[in-house]
């Protein structure tokens, strides 16, 4: 699941491929953290929404984390931890709490 041009330039195609192939484990492995993988999914979803934006909200990152974890019994980190991990990686997140 190497980062490629599709993730940035064709986010709807990239997101569809991730969802269809369910390659979330590879995405987490490549991203090295669940929060970063979730951020990537959230960003792609944000760029393909009717009101496109390039910065996801914390709730969108959390929803993407739920999608990435799926049926895996891995516990989902709290939203505060997702925010901290994104901040530590230098990723912008809108915190509308």
Determine contact, residues 94/58, Cβ cutoff 8 Å.
yes
Would you call 13 helix, strand, or coil by DSSP?
A: helix
Per-residue pLDDT of the chain in tens (97 residues, 90 and over written 9): 555 688 989 999 999 999 999 899 999 999 999 999 999 999 999 999 888 888 999 999 999 999 999 887 878 999 999 999 999 999 999 987 6
Q: What is the pTM of this model?
A: 0.90
How are the residues of the chain apportioned to helix, strand and coil, as percentages rounded to the nearest 5?
65, 0, 35
SS3 per residue for 18-63:
HHHHCCHHHHHHHHCCHHHHHHHHHHHHHHHCCCCCCCCEHHHHHH
């Amino acid at each position: 699941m190497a980062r490629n041009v599709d993730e940035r330039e064709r986010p709807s195609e990239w997101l569809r491929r991730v969802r269809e192939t369910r390659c979330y484990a590879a995405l987490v492995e490549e991203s090295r953290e669940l929060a970063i993988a979730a951020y990537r999914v959230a960003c792609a979803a944000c760029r393909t929404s009717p009101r496109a934006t390039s910065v996801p909200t914390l709730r969108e990152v959390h929803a993407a984390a739920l999608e990435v974890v799926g049926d895996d019994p891995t516990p989902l980190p709290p939203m505060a931890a997702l925010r901290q991990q994104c901040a530590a990686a230098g990723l912008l997140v809108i915190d509308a709490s």
